[in-house]
Amino acid sequence: MTASQKHQGIVEELLGYWQGAGPLWKLYWVYGVALSAIGGAFILTAVLMDALPVPLLLVCIGAILIYTGFILVSIWRSAFNISTDPMGIDREAWGWIARVLTFGWALNAAGGSLMLLQVAMHY
């Protein structure tokens, strides 16, 4: 990288993913799995410890659902951005695997959010 080139900022990188650009591995594993796991652990801990009032919990869950929606749409659009054939499996197959997992991820996020709300509201 030359001195005249600048690093792409996080906002530009995420906007690129929204448009379907960028490597799938980073979007899926870093922004998707790792950050979602951290956010999920925070919300789960807050619910189990009864640490947040329900209105604030709703804001947190809403923010995480918006983030999850952004990530899922971005993964769907970037599903075929794979430069090689990992483990000898065709990159097209990996793209479809990413899309199938994205659909399951969406169902899991919706169901998990409803269960967290039930626990938080003591149902």
CA R_g for the chain: 17
pLDDT in tens, 64-95: 999 999 999 999 999 999 988 888 889 899 99
The confidence band for 15, taking pLDDT boundaries of 50, 70 and 90, is: very high
Q: Please tell me whether the overall predicted TM-score, pTM, comes out greater than 0.95 for this model.
A: no
How many whole angstroms separate alpha carbon 84 and alpha carbon 71? 22
Per-residue pLDDT, averaged over 30-58, amounts to: 90
pLDDT reported for residue 1: 47
3 pLDDT higher than 50: no
Q: Is the pLDDT of residue 11 over 50?
A: yes
